[in-house]
Amino acid sequence: MLQACFKRLYSSIPEAAAVARTESTPRAVRLRRLRRRQPVAPGESDASPAGSTPSELARYQRDFAKGEVAGPDGRYLTEEEWLKEKNERRARIRGTREHSSQTQVVGQKIYLPNIVFRLVRNFTAPGQPYNPYEATFRVPQSINKPDIRSYLSAVYGIKTTYIRTDNYLSPVGRDGSTKSFKTYKRAVVGLVDPFYYPLALEDMSKEEREERETWIEEKFQVQATEKLRMMHLLRMTRQGSKGWKWRTGSTAQRGNILRLIAERRSLREAAVADAKVQIAEARQASA
Percent above pLDDT 70 for the chain = 80
pTM above 0.75, yes or no: no
Pick from 109, 112, 163, 159: nearest CA to 139 = 163
CA nearest to 185, candidates 169, 161, 209? 169
How far apart (Å, rounded) are the C-alpha atoms in residues 253 and 58?
A: 66
Question: What pLDDT score was predicted for residue 7?
Answer: 40
Answer yes or no: is pLDDT of 162 > 70: yes
Query: Going by DSSP bridges, is the β-strand pair 160-168/184-191 parallel, antiparallel, or unpaired?
Result: antiparallel
Q: Say which residue, 48 or 241, is predicted with more confidence.
A: 48
**Distance between the two ends of the chain, CA-based, in angstroms?**
112
Which of 95, 92, 186, 192 is closest to 143 using CA atoms?
186
Non-local (6+) Cβ contacts of 30 within 8 A are none
pLDDT in tens, 52-106: 888 888 888 888 888 888 887 888 888 888 888 877 766 556 666 666 666 666 6
Residue 149 — φ and ψ, nearest 5°? -65, -45
pLDDT digits over 101-151, tens only?
666 666 666 666 788 899 999 988 777 788 888 999 999 888 889 889 888
pLDDT for position 8? 43
The 10s digit of each residue's pLDDT in 215-241 is 999 999 998 899 889 888 877 776 666
Local confidence band at 22 (pLDDT 50, 70, 90 cut-offs) = confident
Name which residue leads in pLDDT, 212 or 90: 212
Position 189 pLDDT exceeds 60? yes
Sequence-distant (6+) residues with CB within 8 A of 169 are 178, 183
Averaged pLDDT of the chain: 80
φ/ψ region of 150 (left if φ > 0, alpha if ψ in -120 to 50, else beta) reads alpha
Please tell me the distance from the alpha carbon of residue 230 to that of residue 224, in angstroms, as a whole number. Answer: 10
Give the β-pairing of 102-105 and 96-99: antiparallel
